[in-house]
Amino acid sequence: MSDAITDQRTFLVRGDDDVSRCGWVGTDPEYRRYHDEEWGRPLRDDERLFEKVCLEGFQAGLSWITILRRRPVFRDVFHGFDVARVAEMTPDDVERLLGDARIIRHRGKIEATISNARVTRDLGESLGDLIWSFAPETPRARPVRSFADVPAITEQSTALSRELRRRGYKFVGPTTMYALMQSAGLVDDHLVGCHLAPDE
């Protein structure tokens, strides 16, 4: 792959396919695929949203590419993020996962994934409906110059975080929830000039 060309005006990156993307993609092929096929696309499926809640929690303090590259293994060890199966995992499973070098071996995050599955199982409503009830009513202006124009938290992500924590979820702080809102398409933060940002 040729070196990416960065547009210093908008902090876009243009790869060897001559397509402009948000600059955080860089030259990594998996980041490119994730940006083009997943990030910012509306997602309402409960199981996939549960996975995002969990993986965004694992990402806290790390780069997203670290989680993305390990996502297949996370899916393997957490039963495809099947809520019912994860909810039945035991302290023995926690100890086993703490010895698995393929994932992020953080006891609190592993235990939170299992605990969050139990909360989701007993929620009494769709996780997707709950999360999407915090989507902004009107879209914010599309970021123009760089991701410095994008907030780390918003009123909605703070409210979502507060409600999820009230329900018993863990590792769901406002910054983590804003990242979830970006990735699951509740907000559209593709920069102006990105091929996935419609002309406005």
For residue 7, the model assigns a pLDDT of: 47
31 is catalytic: no
- Which one of the listed residues 24, 34, 47, 88 is annotated catalytic? 34
For residue 149, the model assigns a pLDDT of: 77
- Which one of the listed residues 56, 132, 169, 178 is annotated catalytic? 56
- Specify the DSSP element, H or E, that contains 183: helix 174-183
For residue 142, the model assigns a pLDDT of: 80
For residue 145, the model assigns a pLDDT of: 63
Residue pLDDT tens, the chain, 200 long: 234 444 444 588 988 899 999 988 988 999 999 999 999 999 999 999 999 999 999 998 899 999 999 999 999 999 999 999 999 999 999 999 999 999 999 999 999 999 999 999 999 999 999 999 999 998 888 876 667 778 899 999 999 999 999 999 999 999 999 999 999 999 999 998 899 997 65
What's the CA gap between 57 and 94, in Å, rounded?
A: 16
24 is catalytic: no
What tokens appear for 51 in the block? 């996975």
Mention every residue, 6+ apart, whose C-beta is less than 8 A from residue 79.
85, 86
- Which one of the listed residues 38, 47, 64, 111 is annotated catalytic? 64
Question: Which one is the CATH code of 46-183: 1.20.58.1910, 3.55.30.10, 3.30.70.1450, 1.10.340.30?
Answer: 1.10.340.30
Helix, strand, coil % over all residues of the chain, rounded to 5: 50, 5, 45
Classify residue 11 by its DSSP letter.
Answer: T
38 is catalytic: no
